[in-house]
Amino acid sequence: MSYIGILVTYIFVNNFILVKFMGICPFIGVSKNSSSAIGMGVAVTFVTSVTSVVCWMVYYGLLAPFGLEYLRTISFILVIAAMVQLVEMVIRKFSPSLYKALGIYLPLITTNCAVLGIAIINIDSGYNLLESFVAGAAAGLGFTMAIILMSNIREKLELTPVRKTFKGVPITFISAGIMALAFMAFDSSLLTNLGLV
């Protein structure tokens, strides 16, 4: 698959939140206002891109030559935890306000399914190093797009009368569902029609 094909696949066709449901926790938790949504999106995109590359190197450089493929899950999660720690330190140094806004959700990127998910998908799909990087970045961008759209919807929802029982999380899920309906327009035939396969 071409690089543009991979980008379109992970941003639109297999959007991590709306189609694969990876990273739903921060998606619901941090999407209350758009500035923290953008921050979260950028942090996740950075982490997914870097971990995709590092996990690929760990898998093909360390695990595969020694027949240790079964240690994949453990080693990947350790790589991710280390990378998240690094990102946390960098953000704290350069943007204390963003650090405050992301608060509790920054360490939670470690347990964001999207990050481990894309690392495993890269290996399962047999991507090479550059393809893994593109897939990681695309997955992060797809996440960012979904979370920014959602935060805008939620800012509007604040001002709309919503039934008491649906306020908060339920209406968020339902809005996300309607967004996912719209995203059903992007299916794999799109890739074939655009000649990207």
Partner 1 sequence: MKNSHLKELTKGIWKENPIFVIMLGMCPTLAVSTQVSNALGMGLGVVFVLTLSNIFISLLKKVIPDSIRIPSYIVIIASFVTILEMLMHAYMPSLYDALGIYLSLIVVNCVILGRAEAFANKNSILDSALDGIGMGLGFTLGLTIIALIREVLGSGTITLFAIGGWDGVIRIPGLASTPIRVVGMSAGALLVMGLLKAFFTWKDSKKGEEK
Contacting residues toward partner 1, per CB under 8 A: 18-25, 28, 70-74, 77-78, 81, 107, 110-113, 115-117, 120-121, 124, 164-166, 168-174, 176-178, 180-181, 183-184
**Residue 153 Cβ vs partner 1, minimum distance, rounded to whole Å:** 13
**Residue 122 Cβ vs partner 1, minimum distance, rounded to whole Å:** 11
Beta strands in 22-87 (DSSP E): none
**Residue 172 Cβ vs partner 1, minimum distance, rounded to whole Å:** 7
**Residue 32 Cβ vs partner 1, minimum distance, rounded to whole Å:** 15
Alpha-carbon distance of 27 to 22, in angstroms, equals 9
Closest to partner 1 by CB, 33 or 111:
111
> Burial level of 118, CB count in 10 A (0-12/13-18/19+)?
buried
Closest to partner 1 by CB, 185 or 195:
185
> Burial level of 26, CB count in 10 A (0-12/13-18/19+)?
buried
Q: What is the chain's percent helix, strand, coil content, to nearest 5?
A: 80, 0, 20
**Residue 129 Cβ vs partner 1, minimum distance, rounded to whole Å:** 20
Do 16 and 139 form a contact (C-beta atoms < 8 A)?
yes
38, 170, 20, 76 alpha-carbon torsion, rounded to 10°: 60
Closest to partner 1 by CB, 45 or 122:
122
Closest to partner 1 by CB, 94 or 185:
185
C-beta atoms surrounding 116 within 10 Å? 20
Closest to partner 1 by CB, 187 or 197:
187
